[in-house]
Structure 1
């Protein structure tokens, strides 16, 4: 398996990690109604939940881009490098979200999006 495909797994787990961050250490967390509990949160917990939602939203396009690049013969080393960069940008996105840093968060989002596009079109460079 390629590094890029392992990155798809990491990307699929990222929203779950964000949800865990949102719930971490909360004494009043209600597993019977986790969505309702998360909707009532403020501060970093609310931002971690928003990062979770965005991670779910970003995942499909990234996963499809990696699969397209893999099936259509994108240069493996390029696709692997871009997929790793995507993971780093998304980790930066989550970190900026938790720290309430909107401008760098938006930059991380944009870089990750452009990276996804580059992965998708990478077979053109083969």
Structure 2
């Protein structure tokens, strides 16, 4: 497996691990029979963790497809790997800023993550100009 493919796995783990601590820390109020109970997520940090989790689910498909498409179309693997690592780092920072209630920085990181994913997606298109 390539580093980029491991980053796809890491991005899944990131959005799963975004919500797990909130459920664990609120175990007394969390009802596993009703894991999506909106009342549990009304608390500020819980609501933000849920938002970061949901956004991770939304960001994942484009990132995964971009990586697989770039690899399938034989874009430079070192660039796919480097951009994928950068994506996971940016998304990790995004989660921290979301949970930490830093909306302006969070929006910047979201945009940066999207640009990184788009760059991976378009690597096959520009590979002839990269000389890598």
Query: Considering the TM-score relative to the shorter chain, is it more than 0.5?
Result: yes
Normalised by the size of structure 1, how large is the TM-score? 0.94
| Structure 2 unpaired stretches of 5+ | 128-132
Largest Rg, 1 or 2: 2
Give me the whole-angstrom Cα distance separating, in 1, the residues matched to 2:21 and 2:88: 17
Alignment of 1:48-87 (within 5 A): 48-87=49-88
Q: CA deviation at 1:41?
A: 2.6
Is the aligned partner of 1:21 residue 2:53? no
Match of 2:94 in 1: 93
CA contact (8 A) 1:29 1:37 kept: no
Normalised by the size of structure 2, how large is the TM-score? 0.90
Give me the whole-angstrom Cα distance separating, in 2, the residues matched to 1:94 and 1:45: 12
| Structure 1 unpaired stretches of 5+ | none
Aligned pairs, how many? 126
Structure 1 vs Structure 2 CA RMSD: 1.3
